[in-house]
Amino acid sequence: MASLEQVLHRFAQGQGANILTITCANPETFAGAAEDPEKYNLLRVRMGGWSEFFVAMYPAHQAHHQRRPLSDAATPK
């Protein structure tokens, strides 16, 4: 949780990118939705200004979200 707070603070201070998208689902949720869509029919994901029901997406797009980093990308290098 502290890592998320740091990312939000840096973003609010103007550090990093000009858009911040936070996905609040764990890898197990995405895997479960890909395997059993009926149980996850309300799961939505946000992508660059629009959102979609995860289970309605093409498998390749679902896979993209499952591959997204688990850590923050805004950490200074």
| pLDDT single digits (tens) 21-61 | 777 778 899 899 999 999 999 998 877 778 889 899 899 98
Q: What is the CA radius of gyration of the chain?
A: 14
Between CA 30 and CA 53 the distance in angstroms is 11
Domain boundaries, the chain: 2-67
Query: 27 in helix, strand or coil?
Result: helix
* Cα gap 28→50, rounded to integer Å: 23
Per-residue pLDDT at 46: 79
Predicted pLDDT at 74: 45
Bridge partners, residue 47, by sequence:
50
**Cα distance between residue 33 and residue 5, in whole Å:** 28
5, two tokens: 């707070």
